[in-house]
Structure formats: C-alpha cells, structure tokens
Amino acid sequence: MAVLFWPEGAIVNKREEISSILDKCGISLDFWPVRSSGRTATLLDEDTLGEEEKEAILSEQDQYFAQLRASHGYMARDLIVIYPGMPGLSGLLDRFLPIHYHEDDEVRYIVDGEGVFGFVLPEGSQVELLVEKGDFIRVPRLLEHWFRLTGRRKIKAVRYFTGTAGWVPVYTGTPSLFPPNTSSTA
C-alpha cells in the first residue's frame, strides 16, 4: 500500500489523498493484486531469477499488460529484479538517485519488495512515495523524479514500454529536499 512523505515529516497514507496530490503532475497510481499461484509464488520469494523464471512471473500478470496495450499502446514488458547481494547494485542505484526525467513515461508494477519514488511537484515542492507489492505507477514523461530502494534493498517490478529510446535519464541538477536514504522509509 503506497505511502506519501513530505520533507517536513508529514505522512499521507490514504490512497484518495495520495492520488489527489499526484494527479497534479499527471502521475497515475493504482493497486493491482499480484497473481501468484504454484511455481510463481515460490519464484517471487527468490532473489535471483533466470529469464525463463522471469517470464513465468510476467505471464501470470499479463492481463494487466493486455489492458495497458489496449489503453496506452505499451508494446513490451520485462521484469527487473534487484536484491541486496546483486553485483553492481550501488552503481545501478546511483544512476536513479539524482533528480532526472525521461523522454517517455516510466511505468512500473511492483510484484515484490518495495522502493521509493520522489517527485518534484508543479509548484516546486517535493514528495516521496513508498511503493510496495501490488502498486502500479505511471510517471509521465518529462516529470522530474528520482528513485531509491528502502533499507530492504529488494524489489521486483514489471516495466512497461512503448519503446526504448526515451529511457536515458536526463539529469536536471535540481537538489532534492530529501537527503538520500534518510526519510522515514529507509
């Protein structure tokens, strides 16, 4: 269940209130139950997954992919798996921490674990959003944002794409009002 944090420490945990704040900058937030039966339930508990295992998890969630393809034209999806012992984890995460934007929407469906998206709102204020299993988020293109893991350092997320050209982060130099990994979600 998503939770929103303001830099001064205020917390919003009612989905309607969170959505009204995020709507101001075009962010879509929804909750989709994660389908996991048999082998897939076991795979969601594993840290590392091969391509066949990732595809098993993706296939079980494909009713959502079909909806997104019909409504928004998403043509591809993959599963990103991040876990504490992952080789090169710090370097990977360092790329997402500075405030940046993309030329395409950033779309994530969290199927396990948790992470924190931060956003620069239209009037310049900033918020952080804890996303967990079942949370679906669409960050619109050109919106300044950042991403970090919580102290668990574990997440599995389905990524949806219309193409790959817009996935290079464009760093803006905007300073974050949240010191890295020090908010109440760390």
With pLDDT > 90 as the criterion, what percentage of the chain qualifies? Answer: 86
Is pLDDT larger for residue 184 or for residue 138? 138
pLDDT at 88 over 60: yes
- Residue 116, both tokens: 């924190």
Rounded to two decimals, the pTM is 0.93
pLDDT at 140 over 70: yes
Separation in Å, CA 94 to CA 91, 98, 146, 180: 5, 8, 10, 10
Q: Give residue limits of the domains in the chain.
A: 3-166
The mean predicted confidence, pLDDT, of the chain is 93
pLDDT at 186 over 80: no
Which pLDDT score is estimated for 37?
87
**What CATH number belongs to 3-166?**
2.60.120.10
Residue 10: pLDDT band with limits 50, 70, 90: very high
User: Which residues are within 8 A (CB) of 171 and not within 5 positions of it... i.e. 6 or more apart?
Assistant: 98, 99, 100
Residue 182: pLDDT band with limits 50, 70, 90: very low
Which pLDDT score is estimated for 167?
72
